Amino acid sequence: MDTVRQQPAVRPTTAWERAERAQATGGTPTLDFGTRLPYDMYVRTDVLHDLQRPMSDDPGEMSFLMVTQVMELYFKLIAFELRKAQERLRDDDVWGALAPLRRTALHLEALNGSWRGLRWMTPADFNRFRDQLGEASGLQSAMYRQVEFTLGLKNAALLRPFKRQTEIHRDLVRAYETPSIWDDVIAVLARRGHDIPREVLGRDVAAEYEPHPAVERAWVEAYRDEGPDNHLRLLGEALTELAEQFGDWRYQHVAAVRRAMGAKPGSGGSNGLAWLERSMARVVFPELWSARTHM
């Protein structure tokens, strides 16, 4: 049964009701409520604050656990915003796609700030509770995988850890088998008159994307008009900011691992730092970067 739907609903209010209440209280906040606090009912703080259950008594584990949970929430928000941007792009509404893309970049910036909460962690600090993690690894984050697949970083092998979690696996397969946001952007370029070959537009979207000179040329042409009404150029800049922030996320992940555990093997069976460094080599929106050489 869906426990979310069992929660009491927050009663919506109007601007008139809020103004009337403020007048009645003389501007002081309401302090007495007949039922649960509306804030708790809306945010579900009881659920959020019950999720931190460290496996050890080491105080550093609470930082590690909570920062990781915050990151998971940001992954979900970023995946949500990327899907909204894709909806707009598929409707050929480039202007409408800019807002969710810009929000995504800001969410990534906030996500990247989360790493600061772990900068205190030395190898000795991490080792005090690391064994309690067992085989748990960020590699197993389904929501992060949603983000990567939507950005176009696809790898069929990374579906395997989720094969026994039916709903999660189904959602990941859907993200893997549908066009990435970069595929949607390339389709927009073609609809706006740029010469994109059929083999690019009709490619297998589940395969690893291979950069194409025609897409690079399209971006060179799109950037020639520097006027405020050139929505393709604005789209390119929004995607650039997003890609930079995502690149910062991956760099800071590597830096945090290097700081806390050096080149030790990862918890999930990988070789840790070396695996992450190889992952960083996969570029998001490749022609958007290579085109700058020719602008």
What is the CATH T-level fold of the domain 60-294, as seen in this structure?
Answer: Methane Monooxygenase Hydroxylase; Chain G, domain 1 (1.20.58)
How many other C-beta atoms lie within 10 A of the C-beta of residue 94?
19
Amino acid at 9: A
Which tens digits make up the pLDDT trace of 47-83? 999 999 999 999 999 999 999 999 999 999 999 999 9
Give CA–CA dist 48/160, Å, rounded: 29
Q: At what angle do helices 94-113 and 231-261 cross, to 10 degrees?
A: 20
Q: Look at residue 137 and tell me whether its pLDDT is greater than 90.
A: no
What are the residue ranges spanned by the domains of the chain? Answer: 3-48, 60-294
Question: What is the reported pLDDT for 31?
Answer: 86
130 appears as a binding residue in the annotation: yes
Give CA–CA dist 259/237, Å, rounded: 33
Percent of the chain scoring above 90 in pLDDT:
72
Is 0.85 surpassed by the pTM of this model?
Answer: yes
Q: Look at residue 15 and tell me whether its pLDDT is greater than 90.
A: yes
212 appears as a binding residue in the annotation: no
Question: What is the reported pLDDT for 272?
Answer: 63
8-state DSSP, 191 = H
Task: Please report which confidence band the pLDDT of residue 212 belongs to, taking 50, 70 and 90 as the band edges.
Answer: very high
Give CA–CA dist 235/233, Å, rounded: 5
Which tens digits make up the pLDDT trace of 238-278? 999 999 999 999 999 888 888 888 877 666 656 667 767 78
